[in-house]
Structure formats: C-alpha cells, structure tokens
Amino acid sequence: MGETQITSHESPSGAFAEVALNVPLHAGDRVFTFGIPQSLEPRISLGTPVRVPFGRQTSLGFVVRLAEQVDRRVRLIAAVEDRLPVLPEDLVALAWWMAGHYVCTVGEAVAAMLPPFAAALRRTKVDPVVFVQPHGPVPEASSPTGVVAHLSTDPRTVAVVGEDARFDAYAEALRWAVEGNRGAIVLVPEVSQAERMAGWVARHVRVQVALLTGHVPEQQRWDSWRRILAGEVGLVVGTRLAVFAPLPRLGLMIVDHEEDTAYKEEREPRYHARRIAEERARVCGASTLWGTPAPSLEVVHAARTGRAAIITLPPAARPAISVSDVRAEAGPLGGLFGRRLYQALARVLPRGRAIIFVPRRGYADFLLCHECGSVPRCPRCGVALTYHVERAAPSGGRSLAAARVELRCHLCNHTEPVPQVCPQCQGAHLRPHGIGTERVEQAARKLFRSAPVMRLDAEAAP
C-alpha cells in the first residue's frame, strides 16, 4: 500500500487552533488541530473553551495555541462553549510546561487545573460562595523578618525556615502583596489547615479571602473560580488544587509546610504543588515563599544552587521543661505525685488552671494476682481487662468501697465484676497495678480540695 500524501488545507477564516482534549492519547501526542470557522473567529482566542468533532461525537476542549496554516486536512471547530470561562494565558502556558515536565497531554494538565466540567455544564442553581471576611482586632505587627527585600529582588524565591516565626514572614509578605495590588495564593497541606489559615490571613491582612479545597462542592468551586477570575477577591487560601486559582494579577505564592507529602497529586498528571507554584510564579513574574520548620531536600538544593534565598528565623522562647521521677521523690501520696509536681500544682491552684495528661484510662491498667501472677483477660479479645473505679458523686465523700468497681475491656466494652479471689488459684491477694485517669482524678481531689477537678476521657466526655 502506498503512502498517503498529506496536503495543505486552509480553514474558511484562514486560521487554525490547537485544542487540548482530556482524552488518552498516544505517546508524543499533545493537542489536536482544528480549523476556525469564519463565524467563530472573533470569539476564539487563547484559552477559549470549544466543542470540536472527535470521532463520532463532540468533545470539549480548550484552545491552547493559534496557527495560520497546517500541513494536513483538518475538521472545523463546532461551537464555543459559553458555560465555561476562558482559561487565562498564564495557565495555558503552565499546561504546556506540565505536559512536558510530567509526561502528560496538555488536555490532562488543563483538566487538573479546573473543577469537573460536568458541574459547570449543569444548569442547577447553587448558593453563592461566601468569602472569609476579616474579623476581630487587628493583631500587632511583629518585628520585620526581611522577607520583602528578598521577594522584590532576584531570584524572588525565598525559603523561610522556622516554627511559629514563619507566620510573621507570611503576614509581612501578604501585606506587601496587598499594598502593591498583587494577588496572592497561600497553600497548606490539609483541608482543616486551610480553614484556619483563611481566617488567619483575613484577620492579619484585613481583606476577604477565597477558600479553595476539595471539600468545597464542585459547583461552588466553579462559582469561586469565576469570581476569582473576575477579580472580586485577591487572596486565595487552599490545598494543592488552589495553586491553579485564576488570579488576574498574581504576585505572590506561599507554600506552607512545603515538605509535606500531601502536596503530591496521586492521579494523572502526578504534579507536585510546590514545583507548580514555583513554575507558575516564573510564568507570571511573581514571587514564591516556601515556609517550613524542616526544609525538604529540594528546597535545600534550591538554596545551595542559588535558585532560592533562605531565611532562618530564631525559635520563640519556650517554657522550661523538667523531668521529675515521682518514684524517687517523696510526695504526699507516695509515688503518684512527686514532690516537685505537687509543689508546682500548689503554686498554680486554686487561682490558676493546670492540665495533667495521663496516657491511660481507668483507675489501673490491670488486676494482678500476687500468688499465681494471673491477670483477668477479656473472653472475646484476649487483652487484659482495665480496672475501673467510678464514683456516683464526684465531689462527694463516699468511700472506695461504695464506688462502682468493675473490669472493662477497652476494645469490645465487655465488663465483669472484680473477683474477690483469683479464678486461677483461689488466692486472695488481688491488687490493681498501673495509673489511669480515674486514679489521678481521685488523688487530685484529695490533695487540692479547694480547686474543682474535672476528668476528660472517653468515659467522662460530655
């Protein structure tokens, strides 16, 4: 069979468009070329969503490049999809970079940037998104960290290493962006962190903030996407998908906890939000700020090769920590409260407040027979039963014998009464061993009678 001759073909308008489709393609394929009908030429530009014939159906794609001629016969664009917004030029350029860097198609890169297309094409009404508003008093400005000087000069990428002090650098950089009428994106690893960070940013910078996470319903995400593109908000906080927020005048990218593995996308294309933030900042001429208490190897390499500047902030003053061996110190209740622990609590109570963390529930870890060494175990789970002593009236003066005493399994909640004699050897020397929350609570009530004592664990939680 002879080789088919590919001839030049011109569209009715003389213009062509390369369209990115979110479909699986062969290795090396990136986009498809279509002719632009003369009737659609005024409406088609870079980033325009279009409908194109693909096989026996019509597919949705985005124009990612324009051309004046091609060397093969092509089909014409069917229509412009008005229900989707135009993709900004910086995101089009980023999609091309992602296709080469992550070995994917341009269409797959575009699809990763946007909420699901189906949600935008549905005509159902959704409640408008409420942006996070500033509230509360304006926090006092901290001492300058010097981060703005680095953001304004090359390489315009800064790694801030510090614990809580890095947030001072965030606030300083965000104020610099807002005062310069620049948009800013703040990335955090988890959804719960995004909600807290949005409130923190709004409170410190005194502007409204858009929240973009995977937990926001798809149609509301589209509403936020369109309003961000329209310039209604200049600050965006979110998880890794927020790195693609279409801010018109992007000037600052902040990646908090840049070392966190949650920034890595597990589906195609498997991008890393920290790397995407750096590349998008380069495309837009923006600045990048990486914040971390423990920098990743990639950030350390970027600092050593001159690709990024690094600022190490001193840690805040921490309270003194001392270790007390209560078994070696004579306390008012033997080995339960040592002398130093008792004195420290006495200085705080009753006017102040104190928290005692006990790693185990119950009164004691287990019940032990001192004659044969056996320990009562759960007949279902096989674990040692925990010794529980609970009073009906916590503030009353009832004796230990009047309290409810039982053995309980913390896995299946099986309970049984405390035996008077050992079931194995019939010995009478049964003693509870270990320290639990109930035992510490009862000891604290005896030592600090004028201070209210509350126990908070799985049994006592409201």
415 lies in some domain? yes
pLDDT band with cut points at 50, 70 and 90 for residue 8: very low
Same domain (yes/no): 223, 299: yes
pLDDT of residue 398: 43
Same domain (yes/no): 356, 294: no
Report the percent of the chain where pLDDT is more than 90.
60
138 lies in some domain? no
**Cβ atoms within 10 Å, residue 370:** 12
Indicate yes or no: pTM above 0.75.
Answer: no
334 lies in some domain? no
Same domain (yes/no): 20, 94: yes
How would DSSP label each residue in 54-79? Answer: ETTEEEEEEEEEEES-BSS--PBP-E
pLDDT at 432 over 80: yes
Per the structure, the complete domain to which residue 305 belongs is given by 147-312
User: Which of 283, 312, 341 is the last residue before a domain boundary?
Assistant: 312
First to last CA, the chain: 81
Same domain (yes/no): 159, 99: no
251 CB-side CA count, 13 A: 18
Same domain (yes/no): 155, 280: yes
**pLDDT, tens digit (0-9, with 9 covering 90-100), for 237-295:** 999 999 999 999 999 999 999 999 999 999 989 999 999 999 999 999 999 999 999 99
Same domain (yes/no): 294, 386: no
User: What is d(CA 223, CA 128) in angstroms, rounded to the nearest whole number?
Assistant: 7
Burial bucket for residue 276 (CB in 10 Å: 0-12, 13-18, 19+): buried
Query: Domain holding 41: CATH number?
Result: 3.40.1440.60
Q: Which of 29-43, 309-323, 357-371, 430-444 has the lowest mean pLDDT?
A: 309-323
pLDDT of residue 320: 79
387 lies in some domain? yes
Strand partners, 331: 334
382 lies in some domain? yes
339 lies in some domain? no
Same domain (yes/no): 269, 368: no
72 CB-side CA count, 13 A: 8
User: Which of 114, 133, 165 is the last residue before a domain boundary?
Assistant: 114
Same domain (yes/no): 162, 203: yes
**pLDDT, tens digit (0-9, with 9 covering 90-100), for 83-126:** 999 999 999 999 999 999 998 899 999 999 999 988 888 877 77
User: Which of 114, 129, 161 is the last residue before a domain boundary?
Assistant: 114
Same domain (yes/no): 172, 264: yes
DSSP helix/strand/coil, 312:
strand
User: What is d(CA 434, CA 112) in angstroms, rounded to the nearest whole number?
Assistant: 54
Q: What's the gap between Cα 212 and its chain centre?
A: 11
120 lies in some domain? no
If you average pLDDT over residues 223-230, what whole number do you get?
A: 94
If you average pLDDT over residues 124-149, what whole number do you get?
A: 81
The overall average pLDDT reported for the chain is 87
Query: Domain holding 193: CATH number?
Result: 3.40.50.300
Q: How many domains does the chain have?
A: 3
Which among 178, 397, 164, 183 has a CA at the least distance from the CA of 286? 183
Same domain (yes/no): 439, 292: no
pLDDT band with cut points at 50, 70 and 90 for residue 459: confident
317 lies in some domain? no
Same domain (yes/no): 180, 306: yes
pLDDT at 10 over 90: no
Task: Specify the long-range contacts of residues 114-123, CB closer than 8 Å, at least 24 apart.
Answer: 114/87, 114/225, 114/244, 115/218, 115/221, 115/222, 115/225, 116/218, 117/22, 117/60, 117/84, 118/218, 119/218, 119/219, 119/221, 119/222, 120/83, 120/84, 120/219, 120/222, 121/83, 121/84, 122/219
Query: What is the amino acid identity at position 101?
Result: H
Same domain (yes/no): 239, 177: yes
pLDDT at 403 over 80: no
